[in-house]
Chains A and B, each alone.
Chain A
Amino acid sequence: MKIVAIDRQGKEHTLEGRDGWTVMEILRDGGLDIAAECGGACACATCHVYVNDGWFEKLPAPSESEIDMLDMALAVEPNSRLSCQIVCSETTDGIKVTVAPE
């Protein structure tokens, strides 16, 4: 399964997703510049991404705590998500995300 990620410089990376891993973990291990300060606890909003090309609507809705935590993210858009809360699975194969500005 693939994750297409656009970094802050606008460069596109195609990463191999892993079932059950979070998109944040794949981005981090793929060397993208993503702080993920709290390590995936939905507690810092530094793994903020935009979910592109219709993928936002295909994802399960964000939890109450993720919606709350997005209040601490910068430059939030209607397609904003915290990548530590998106779990890779067959339904996310090919998902396209853009790392939000710092």
Chain B
Amino acid sequence: MTAAAPIETDVAIIGAGPIGLFAVFELGLLDLKCHLVDILDRPGGQCTELYPEKPIYDIPGLPIVTGQELTNRLLEQVKPFNPQFHFNEMATGLEKLADGRWKLSTDAGTTLIVPVVVIAGGAGSFVPKRPPIPGIEVFENAGDGVGVHYAVRKMENFRGKNILIAGGGDSALDWTINLAPLAKSLTLVHHRDGFRAAQHSVNQMRELEAAGKIKFHVASVKALHGEAGKLASVTLAGADKSEWHHETDAFLPFFGLTIKLGPIAEFGIHLNENLIPVDTAKFESQTLGIFAIGDINTYPGKLKLILSGFHEAALMSQAAFHIVRPNEKLRFQYTTSSSSLQKKLGVS
């Protein structure tokens, strides 16, 4: 990855879910500027990735709000503070610099130099689900268009290849439809003869099958075979438990995303069962200057609720201020009465 020039700012926030977004607001009231890093391609975290349409009933003052609406409202609330987002990026490295600041790097080559890092990463990073097939990892990263891939970056890589796709959601069907014209052969397997994908995609897939351009089996992949990391074939098992051999160059499983803690575990921060223990005055980890708010932290009495994360963001911001502006006095003010806060919010 090409390394862009390092960005110096006040606070780096890992995770652009509801808590990371509200942290922008609380930090913004104290004149602290934020950059946010998130592995997803849009803000909202679990709220928009897992349940965008599901109503949430326990946000104070919002009797009913969906995950997507809550995210939209938070984005509107933080807009005056002009947060900078780095989407589709995973925070991969954290190191302390000689001047006491932190260097946070991402897998896309972004480098943030900051006095304060706030980890608002929920349960971790959304990553593709890996089927529990023994030895599957051996066939990952085998090269363009061959072996196991959880995403298609360049369709051209799969031209002329024998492709096996597993799954029954939109991704599985979309890639079946898109790759069929350029594959040497394409086979789709799913555990049932039904799909949770958009109906027009299902129709298109059925047409391809009827035209003999793809094969579809109600089956699942039981084993992968190949020498030295080079995938050659798989064992498929049908609904009646009968098994057969299927030759393929590439295997593309599409079962959606799951959450793994990921590189945060390697940051050198003290963890307890994949959670970051914090104090309840500052929500600072055991590493000074590294804060943890929202579902990723733990303390006596912790409740994994969005409203708890909002409270944590407010207290964290007060402590962060003293690190970023050590020589300044923090003036505690209310947005209802402070004309300077209202100016920052653009309402006066």
Q: Report A's interface with B, CB cutoff 8 A.
A: 35, 37-38, 41, 43-46, 67-78, 101-102
Contacts and interface: CB of A to CB of B under 8 A. Distances in A.
B259 interface: yes
B131 A72 contact: no
A69 B167 CA distance: 11
Contacts of A43: 50-51, 54
Contacts of A71: 167-169, 190-192, 195-196
Interface in B182-200: 190-192, 194-196
B42 to A, nearest CB: 17
Given A44-B258, A74-B255, A102-B132, A69 B46 contact: no
B239 interface: yes
Given A37-B50, A38-B46, A38-B51, A74 B169 contact: no
Contacts, number: 58
Contact of A37 (B46, B132, B169): B46
Interface residues of B, number: 24
A78 B238 CA distance: 11
Task: Please classify the interface of chain A as helix (H, G, I), strand (E, B), loop, or mixed, using the class held by over half of its residues.
Answer: loop
Given A35-B258, A46-B258, A69-B196, A76 B220 contact: yes
B329 to A, nearest CB: 41
A73 B255 contact: yes
Given A43-B51, A74-B132, A78-B239, A37 B195 contact: no
Contacts of A37: 46, 50, 123, 258-259
Given A71-B190, A71-B195, A101 B132 contact: yes
